[in-house]
Chain A
Amino acid sequence: MQHSRGIGQTPWVRLTLISVGVVFSVLFLLAPVVFIFQRALESGVGFYVQTLLDPYTRHAIMLTLLVAVVTIPVNLIFGVALAWLVTRFEFTGRKVLMTLIDIPFAVSPVVAGLLYLLLYGNQGWIGSWLDDRDIQLMFAWPGLIMVTIFVTCPFVARELIPLMQQQGTSEEEAGLTLGASGWQVFRHITLPNVRWALLYGVILTNARAMGEFGAVSVISGSIRGQTNTLALHVELLAQDFNIVAAFVSASLLAFLALVTLVAKSLIEWRETRRQQQEEQTA
């Protein structure tokens, strides 16, 4: 710690700021998380496990995993392709496309869910056509996946675009002049250069896909054992005043969030260390 007397660096100012920070973090961030686990386990580990083994809860867990397992690869491929397109090619509409990527960030998930309902629901433009062919997307698992893909599609692209812009194209061009094919350049040069940003984007996508509530709740219909994801399950249980069971399910989501945070910090820590090494030796 450097004790330089910068702006407001008197001891009492520092003390006040630190206390405010600590109190705030504990009250608003740490306490709820601890509380979730405390409530979830208050009826004992046996009850905890039993609740998780409840068929509806098990189904919610499996459905949530299914949504994540489909969403991640789709958005991974979409994100990489999009980042490649907007950073490696000049074309008209490029700027518009880059703005479009942000729509899912800007639009409230509930609105997104509603839009999907209007478009793909039984009465919707596309939905009624599909309904005639006995294909139901809304109030079924395909709809859950569709809105989740929509909500999480910017994460990977958003992580990759700034990095790929900063890294430029000359390494890839060097690869080409050395005789590599387009695929070899992508596989051996582009991909390794962005691998940590890619992983980071996947982690964020995963966290959001599992925890998404707004959009999913509009199009799900919350049918137990059919279209109830973990996040929706928590709400249903809470509405039934089955508080402990709600907390058990919530603790699962919280646990996933914590794992995500740890993974994210690990990646960031690794990246900073690598950058420091580069600066030292440069």
Chain B
Amino acid sequence: MSIEIRDVNKRFGDFVAVDNMNLSIGEGELTALLGPSGSGKTTLLRIIAGLEQQDSGRIHFYGEDTTDVHVSDRGVGFVFQHYALFRHMTVFENVAFGLTVKPRKERPSKEEIRERVMKVLKLVQLDWTAKRYPSQLSGGQRQRIALARALVIEPKVLLLDEPFGALDTKVRTELRRWLRRLHDEIHVTSVFVTHDQEEALEVSDRVVIMNQGRLEQQGTPEDIYDHPANAFVFDFLGNVNQFRAQVQQGQARVEGHALTQGSWPKDRNGEGLAYVRPYEVDVLKQPEGDDLLPATVELISIIGPTVRLELTAPGSEHLVHAEVPKSRFRPLGIQQGDQVWLRLNNSRVFLAGDVLPPVGS
């Protein structure tokens, strides 16, 4: 393990930012710290970097205790959300900074600095911008320079704080795929913070989900998406519908309609919530079976190849969202205001005691 976080706590006044955090980050992996705002993910990242001092707990890099090592000696590369490039320096000077501030006996020669700077600039495909100033570059280019600046000192770990947060959607998507490919080339242990679940799932080797300063779940993106450990993770990883559900003798029901597919505790009885993703909701014109839930169509919006429906249904306090491919939706001939039937596939039922308060919905 290359980064070990042991029993780390951090408070700001009454606010608990990081609550007894224990985490191991594997060597050469790209790990996403994912969570809603205020979940403590950025604070944790800054503690790893040494930019923030934890109240208690230790940080180890490659088995070495770095808790009391000053940020400038920790050997981390840090990339900020708003780039934090030195505005009065050229791109070359920015990237060279980490080498030129080294004490004289460790500092490489001028030629070596030039060589190493140009090498990382080539790596981020921006060697042609060396003589420009940060203000003359686009957001995406600035962030790649910031990355080059962090990489030139050959950091033990690379930490990125919402690296794509300030960019528009298209650039953001391009840049995160590019980061993934870059990481496959250089394999530096990396941790990046994001609140965007899509970004975390697409880019990372491992996802760590945080909420209210605590770790909720960690695993591979696929693992986490397919087997959310609890209701919070289920809710946070994408749009989800909630239905009031009862589990009796191994059978889960919503409003008396038995659920046929999905998972729920088989050995316990009680009230709970059934979670179903919008694309797992089938919309039918006719009641073809007794596992169907009646609903009324409130709104139909067509977004490219997908039709999104908002429905009201008994058992759900919120609007129910359903996503159906346009090719399948058209033949049904459903109009706004129609009475339809819903089949809930792959639902996941959490009993009342296990359900965490949903965030953001």
Contact with B along A181-211 (1 / 0, CB 8 A): 1001000110011000000000000000000
* A179 interface neighbour in B84, B86, B101, Cβ under 8 Å: B101
A177 touches B78 (CB 8 A): yes
A192→B97 CA distance, assembly (Å): 14
Shortest C-beta distance, B104 to chain A (Å), equals 13
Chain B interface category by residue count: 20 to 34
Shortest C-beta distance, A13 to chain B (Å), equals 40
Binds B, one of A105-113, A167-175, A219-227, A259-267: A167-175
Binds B, one of A61-69, A73-81, A134-142, A274-282: A274-282
A175 touches B97 (CB 8 A): yes
Contact with A along B84-105 (1 / 0, CB 8 A): 1111100000000110011000
A137→B137 CA distance, assembly (Å): 57
Q: Which of A174, A175, A188, A189 has the most CB of B within 10 A?
A: A174
B76 touches A177 (CB 8 A): yes
B49 on the interface (CB 8 Å rule)?
yes
A178 on the interface (CB 8 Å rule)?
yes
A179→B156 CA distance, assembly (Å): 13
B78 touches A174 (CB 8 A): yes
B84 touches A173 (CB 8 A): yes
A174 touches B135 (CB 8 A): no
CB-CB under 8 A from A188, the residues of chain B are: 86, 97, 101
Residue of B nearest to A195 (CB): B88
A20 on the interface (CB 8 Å rule)?
no
Residue of A nearest to B81 (CB): A170
A282→B149 CA distance, assembly (Å): 20
Q: A170-B82, A171-B87, A189-B86 are in contact. Are A176 and B135 (CB under 8 A)?
A: no
CB-CB under 8 A from B240, the residues of chain A are: none
CB-CB under 8 A from B153, the residues of chain A are: 178-179
A193 touches B87 (CB 8 A): yes
A171 touches B76 (CB 8 A): no
A180 touches B51 (CB 8 A): no
Complex A-B, nearest 8 residue pairs according to Cβ-Cβ distance, in ascending order:
A178-B98, A170-B84, A177-B78, A180-B101, A174-B84, A278-B135, A281-B136, A192-B88
Pairs across A and B, CB under 8 Å, 10 listed: A173-B78, A174-B86, A174-B149, A175-B86, A178-B153, A179-B102, A180-B72, A180-B97, A180-B101, A281-B137
